[in-house]
Structure 1
Amino acid sequence: MPPHCDSLDGPVVTAARTALDADDVDLVLPFVPEDAEAEVRAVFTAVRPVRHLSEAAREVADRLFFENVVRLHRAGEGAPYTGLRPAGLGFGPVIPLAEQAVASGSSRAVAQYLTRVLDDELDQRMERVNALAAVKDRSTADARAHVEAMLGFQVYSHHLLQALHGPAHGHGRHQHG
Structure 2
Amino acid sequence: MTYLRLPLRKTLLALATSSALALVFAAPALAHCDALDGPVISEARIALNSGDVTPVLKWVPAVDEARISSTFEKVLEVRQNGGSARELADQQFFAELVEIHRASEDAPFTGIKPAGAIDPAVQLADKALDEGEIDTFLARIVEKFEQNARSAFEATLAAKQQAGNDPERGREFVDHYVNYVHYLEDVHKVIAGNSGHSH
Aligned-partner residue type, residue 181 of structure 2: Q
Counterpart of 1:156 in structure 2 is: 183
The share of aligned pairs that are identical, in percent, is: 31
Look up the SS of the partner of 2:64 in the other structure. Answer: helix
Structure 2, gaps ≥5 residues long: 1-24
Aligned-partner residue type, residue 117 of structure 1: K
Q: How many angstroms apart in 2 are the aligned matches of 1:142 and 1:32?
A: 54
In structure 2, which of residues 100, 122, 146 is the aligned counterpart of residue 119 of structure 1? 146
Q: How many angstroms apart in 2 are the aligned matches of 1:155 and 1:77?
A: 27
In structure 2, which of residues 130, 138, 141 is the aligned counterpart of residue 103 of structure 1? 130
Counterpart of 2:38 in structure 1 is: 10
Aligned-partner residue type, residue 71 of structure 1: E
Q: How many angstroms apart in 2 are the aligned matches of 1:95 and 1:58?
A: 30
1:148 CA displacement = 3.1
1:35 CA displacement = 3.0
Q: How many angstroms apart in 2 are the aligned matches of 1:99 and 1:8?
A: 15
1:92 CA displacement = 4.3
1:146 CA displacement = 1.6
1:171–1:36 CA distance, 2 compared to 1 (3 A): farther
Counterpart of 1:20 in structure 2 is: 48
In structure 2, which of residues 51, 68, 74 is the aligned counterpart of residue 46 of structure 1? 74
Structure 1, gaps ≥5 residues long: 173-177
TM-score, normalising length: structure 2: 0.76
Aligned-partner residue type, residue 32 of structure 2: H
Q: Structure 1 stretch 138-147 or stretch 120-129: which is displaced more? A: 138-147
Provide the alpha-carbon RMSD of the alignment: 2.0
Q: How many angstroms apart in 1 are the aligned matches of 2:76 and 2:119?
A: 35
1:110 CA displacement = 1.0
Q: How many angstroms apart in 1 are the aligned matches of 2:91 and 2:120?
A: 28
TM-score, normalising length: structure 1: 0.85
For residues 94-146 of structure 1, give each alpha carbon's deviation from its aligned partner in whole angstroms, at most 9, with x where no partner exists. Answer: 23321221012221111100111101111110111111111111312322332
Higher RCO structure (Cα 8 Å, ≥6 apart)? 2
1:68 CA displacement = 0.6
In structure 2, which of residues 169, 174, 177 is the aligned counterpart of residue 142 of structure 1? 169
1:157 CA displacement = 0.8
Q: How many angstroms apart in 2 are the aligned matches of 1:126 and 1:118?
A: 12
- The within-5 A match list for 1:155-174 is 155-164=182-191, 165=193, 166-167=195-196, 170-171=197-198
